[in-house]
């Protein structure tokens, strides 16, 4: 059971570190998004600017086809249908065809009326009236066909009637083609304009997208190359390389959300101010860096180690019990004590010690409270003679 618990603890620690890194990566992605936003905006503006007139043109074409060409084609279809009944009567002698013929006449007359009254054909109204008169002649021929008594074996007279009737209807339909063709040429011209506009739109859109892709790729490459530097700048202490206060505060905030157990070690270098006063700030910086390097050697990879402020450092130990945290703190204290730092300014080694306060939480209280408890324990270590580990009072 103990091995299983340790494995689960390590897994949770890795998850926490992954979440911590995910937070940094989200900021990186935000920068990439902001880089591409102007390019994407340019693409959208370009598409809208060019496609809006296209839609207007296409609406015009649809109206033109429906209002002008369709009535002509419907009339032509009605004329072709009207030819069938008289012809079928001469061939088969079925008087039911006469009813169909009367219906066809009414439909064609209706289509002629609609077309003549259509404002789009106002200029051709006289021509349409002539065609309507020709249709009247066609109707007379059709009526004469239904007066033929002998059918089946078509006589010469009936054959001449049928030929004259068919020719009359075909002439009207052929003349109507000129009306439709004229409109179709206008529609064709509009389609040509649409095609040219669409081509320009596609070229402009592709150019904008290509520009966006190039800018995005260049920006992403630059950000990828400088990503580690950006992350280091945001989350790392510039001097020591340990995590900074912002990173520690983010980790504490996540602990509040997860409500998981952890331990906190608050470390403070002993008599650090005297080092700065005696040997200068360069020596103090060298000691801080040496302290961080030695402490990292003792810590586990999943432990979060950061500079809390000045010469104070905070270590967060995920899923770690208090007794294990105390053991680790003692190892850190001994490691620091046994490694003197060479100071070039004085040409001598300087011994270093650290006071450490330990506290642990089961996740039921705010993480900041656990850090405050570790801070109080650290001050007790200072007051008790320094260079020691103290455990917070529960």
| CATH for 245-391 (3.90.1300.10, 3.40.50.2300, 3.30.70.270, 3.30.70.141) | 3.30.70.270
Residue 238 has phi, psi (to 5 degrees) of: -65, -30
Give the percent of the chain with pLDDT over 70: 72
Average pLDDT over the chain, rounded to an integer: 82
pLDDT tens digit sequence for 85-94: 998 888 888 8
Nearest to 264 by CA among 380, 392, 386: 392
Q: What are phi and psi of 366, to 5 degrees?
A: -60, 140
Tokens of 112: 């002629």
Per-domain residue ranges of the chain: 22-207, 245-391
Tokens in use for 296? 């990292």
Q: Is the pLDDT of residue 40 over 80?
A: no
Q: How far apart are CA 190 and CA 195, in angstroms?
A: 9
Instruction: Show the tokens assigned to 354.
Output: 């650290």
Average pLDDT of the residues in 319-345: 92
Q: In Å, how far are 20, 93, 101, 133, 347 from 143, measured between CA atoms?
A: 94, 14, 9, 15, 130
The first and second tokens of residue 233, run together, are 């700048």
Buried b (16+ CB within 10 A) or exposed e, 279-291: beeebbebbbbbb
Sort 122 into a burial class: Cβ within 10 Å, 0-12 / 13-18 / 19+: exposed
Query: Which residue has tokens 């850090």?
Result: 371
The rounded distance, in Å, linking the Cα atoms of 9 and 261 is 10
As given in the structure block, the two tokens for residue 152 are 């089946």
Question: CA gyration radius for the chain?
Answer: 47
In a 13 Å sphere around the CA of 8, the CA atoms on its Cβ side amount to 7
Among 311, 323, 330, 337, which one carries the catalytic annotation? Answer: 311
Which residues fall within 8 angstroms of residue 333, CB to CB, at 6 or more apart? Answer: 353, 354, 356, 387, 388, 389
Cβ burial of 62 (10 Å; 0-12, 13-18, 19+) is: exposed
pLDDT at site 110: 93
What is the distance, to the nearest Å, from the Cα of residue 113 to the centroid of all Cα atoms in its chain?
55
What is the pLDDT confidence band of residue 182, given thresholds at 50, 70 and 90? Answer: low
Q: Report the pLDDT value the prediction gives residue 9, as an integer from 0 to 100.
A: 47
Provide mean pLDDT across the span 122-143. Answer: 92
184 included as an active-site residue: no
- What's the whole-model pTM score? 0.51
* pLDDT tens digits for range 227-266: 666 666 678 898 998 999 999 999 999 999 888 899 999 9
Residue 148: per-residue pLDDT: 82
């Amino acid at each position: 059971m103990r091995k299983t618990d340790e494995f689960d603890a390590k897994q949770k620690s890795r998850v926490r570190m992954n979440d911590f890194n995910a937070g940094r990566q989200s900021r990186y992605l935000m920068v990439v998004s902001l880089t591409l936003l102007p390019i994407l905006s340019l693409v959208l503006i370009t598409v809208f600017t060019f496609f809006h007139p296209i839609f207007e043109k296409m609406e015009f074409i649809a109206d033109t086809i429906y209002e002008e060409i369709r009535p002509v084609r419907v009339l032509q279809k009605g004329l072709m249908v009207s030819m069938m009944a008289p012809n079928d009567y001469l061939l088969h002698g079925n008087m039911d065809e006469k009813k169909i013929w009367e219906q066809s006449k009414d439909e064609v007359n209706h289509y002629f009326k609609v077309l003549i009254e259509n404002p789009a054909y106002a200029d051709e109204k006289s021509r349409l009236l002539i065609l309507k008169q020709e249709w009247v002649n066609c109707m007379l021929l059709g009526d004469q066909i239904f007066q033929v008594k002998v059918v089946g074996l078509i006589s010469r007279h009936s054959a001449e009637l049928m030929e004259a009737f068919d020719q009359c209807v075909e002439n009207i339909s052929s003349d109507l083609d000129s009306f439709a063709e004229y409109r179709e040429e206008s529609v064709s011209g509009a389609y040509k304009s649409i095609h040219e506009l669409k081509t320009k739109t596609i070229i402009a859109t592709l150019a904008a997208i290509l520009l966006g892709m190039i800018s995005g790729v260049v920006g992403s490459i630059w950000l990828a190359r400088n990503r580690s530097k950006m992350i280091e700048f945001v989350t790392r202490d510039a001097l020591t390389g340990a995590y900074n206060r912002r990173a520690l505060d983010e980790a504490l905030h996540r602990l509040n959300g997860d409500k998981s157990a952890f331990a906190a070690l608050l470390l403070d270098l002993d008599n650090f101010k005297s080092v700065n006063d005696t040997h200068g700030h360069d020596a103090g910086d060298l000691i801080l860096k040496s302290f961080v390097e030695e402490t990292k050697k003792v810590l586990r990879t999943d432990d979060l180690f950061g500079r809390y402020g000045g010469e104070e450092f905070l270590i967060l130990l995920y899923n770690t019990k208090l007794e294990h945290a105390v053991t680790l703190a003692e190892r850190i204290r001994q490691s620091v004590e046994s490694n003197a730092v060479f100071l070039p300014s004085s040409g001598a080694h300087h011994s270093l010690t650290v006071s450490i306060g330990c506290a642990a939480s089961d996740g039921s209280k705010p993480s900041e409270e656990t850090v405050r408890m570790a801070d109080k324990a650290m001050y007790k270590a200072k007051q008790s003679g320094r260079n020691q580990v103290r455990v917070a009072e529960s």
